[in-house]
Amino acid sequence: MQGITTKQWEWTREPKESYITDERIKIITEPGTDLWQRTYYGFQNDNAPVLQMKTSEKYFSFVVKTEFASKHRFDQCGVVMYLDSENWLKASIEYENEEFQRLGSVVTNHGYSDWATTDISAKRKQMWYRFSRRESDYRMECSEDGVDFKQMRICHMWEGAEEISFGIYACSPEDSSFEAVFTNMELLECQWKAHQ
């Protein structure tokens, strides 16, 4: 088990407002920021702020707790592995309306995004994520308490075999801004065990 220090983080598109300590990171999102590539309606947006660290370690897990004051359609924050504009993945909660929001994940390989979701209550304003790597394969999980994690997705990243960058992101695709807070960040031995 290993803690994470501020020296390990690097920005891709630093936001105007953010606050970083070893224990807590806060991002204030800016309107019109998003990560999406082509699928369904040809739309492309690649301007969300992403805060990551680099590693060549082939087997590990990264855990983070998110707390968010999202309030407008598509407001989102979560865990991310951003390699370049056409190769990345993310897991997050996207606000939809006062009744529900979408807990989901996006995998983008070679310039095309997909989106897998399940609807949850709009009242939930925190979620834990666990991102695990086994060579070029990746697993994303979520948890309401940081103890019991449930699988969201297993995927392969075509460009994810060597050094990668992974971490957190927050964005507001429409005319909105909200505060996203990230805490309880840990690097662990890989919690995704080999298939028996």
Average pLDDT, the chain: 96
Contact 181, 17 (CB under 8 A): no
Tell me: pLDDT of 1 over 60.
Answer: no
Share of the chain above pLDDT 90, in %: 92
Contact 74, 65 (CB under 8 A): no
Nearest in space to 50 (alpha carbons), one of 108, 121, 124: 108
pTM: 0.96
Nearest in space to 131 (alpha carbons), one of 159, 97, 103, 92: 92
- Domain 6-188 fold is Jelly Rolls (2.60.120)
DSSP-derived secondary structure letter, 7: G
